[in-house]
Structure 1
Amino acid sequence: MKADTSWIIWALLSAGFAALTAIFAKVGIQNVNSDFATFIRTLVIIGVLAVILAATGNWQSPTSISGRTYVFLILSGLATGASWICYFRALQLGDAARVAPIDKMSVLLVAVFAVVFLGERLSAINWLGVTLIAGGTVLVALKA
Structure 2
Amino acid sequence: MSWLIYGLLSALFASFVAILGKVGIKGIDSNVATAVRAVVMAGATLLFITCNGTIGQVRDITWKPMMFIVLSGLAGAASWMFYFGALQQAAASKVAPIDRLSIVFTLILAAIFLKEKVTLGIAAGCVLIVVGSILIVKA
Query: TM-score, with normalisation over the residues of structure 1?
Result: 0.92
- Who is 2:50 aligned against? 54
Deviates more, 1:90-99 or 1:54-63: 54-63
Gaps of 5+ in 2: none
- Who is 1:83 aligned against? 79
Root-mean-square deviation (CA), in Å?
1.2
Shift in Å, 1:61? 4.5
- Structure 1 residue runs of 4+, over 4 Å off? none
Q: Determine helix, strand or coil for the equivalent of 1:31.
A: coil
Tell me which amino acid in the other structure corresponds to 1:76.
Answer: S
Residue of 5, 10, 14 corresponding to 1:9? 5
Question: Percent of aligned pairs with the same residue?
Answer: 39
Shift in Å, 1:63? 3.8
Q: Determine helix, strand or coil for the equivalent of 1:54.
A: helix
Per-residue CA deviations over 1:50-82 (Å, capped at 9, x if unaligned) read 111111001125441111111101110110000
- Who is 1:19 aligned against? 15
Gaps of 5+ in 1: none
Residue of 110, 115, 118 corresponding to 1:114? 110
Q: Determine helix, strand or coil for the equivalent of 1:60.
A: helix
Query: TM-score, with normalisation over the residues of structure 2?
Result: 0.95
Per-residue CA deviations over 1:5-46 (Å, capped at 9, x if unaligned) read x10000000000011100000000001110000011011111
Aligned residues: 139
- Who is 1:134 aligned against? 130
